[in-house]
Amino acid sequence: MTSHDAPGTALVTGASSGIGWEYATRLAGRGWKVVLVARRAERLESLARELREAGATGVETLVADLADPADLARVTERASGDDVDLLVNNVGINGYGPFAEVDGDLLDRVLTVNVVALTALTRAAVPGMLARGRGAVINVASLLAFAGDLPPGPLPRRAVYAGTKGYAVTFTRTLAAELSGTPLRLQVVCPGLTATEFHLGAGATPVSGERRTHDEGGVPPEDVVTASLAALDTDEVVCVPGLTDPEAVTRLATAELDLRRGSGGRAAARYRGAGAKAREAS
């Protein structure tokens, strides 16, 4: 299955703006049926109307807040449907701010939306895809997953958000390896700053009003989706839309292998004091 095929239905979360809106538009234009999931009913209806006017068929809207257990259960049930051949876990909220000062309830929401919902929806969709012998999951992460100890300015204060996106990267790569040899395709797409409304709020409540773009600008969401769907066609598990050197991903895997060589039976000599080092040297 390639992203140009139209075997069934694509479920897209966070479809009310930005990257999710673009995924839905692009996939519907290629003949996919789409299930649009987001908190903002007016935005979803606007997108559904736009898609139908462009000739799309089989457009569903599912208004849901994935931080709410009941709503997540409804969307999880839909994701397990036997018509869902593509799951796009795009929804995400940022909860930016100094860790010691950000409201704890907001951080709980970030973890639930960015980690728990992504995992639950993937778990709901994958068994049926395996049984049918076709399917794909795209998880939208962020280059902030690799930001590590880079200081804020211009990067945001992001400890929990970056951690959740690191989870998305590791989860997707590991699951892709587990499912190697099956017809399923797994991808994590890691855009940098993107020209959406993402930075207009922390995520506790939806951004109100018409769709717009935050002042920081960034790469167009159209480019993110173009790269993602092209990468899906070539089985590229980690897609960084603006990366010109794909070997950077290979070098990352090599560095990880070097770290895993530290799983020996004893602590390294450098942790066991000068005396231990001297004994090992003799």
Catalytic residues: 161
**Strands across the sheet with 185-189, in order?**
59-63, 33-38, 9-13, 84-89, 136-140, 185-189, 238-239
* CA–CA gap between residue 161 and residue 28 (Å, rounded): 30
Are 19 and 191 spatial neighbours (Cβ–Cβ below 8 Å)?
yes
Instruction: Determine contact, residues 118/168, Cβ cutoff 8 Å.
Output: yes
Cβ(98)–Cβ(22) below 8 Å: no
Residue 31 has phi, psi (to 5 degrees) of: 100, 0
Query: What's the rounded Cα separation, in Å, for the pair 68 and 73?
Result: 9
Dihedral angle of Cα 176, 181, 184, 188, to the nearest 10 degrees: 20
Q: How far apart are CA 34 and CA 24, in angstroms?
A: 7
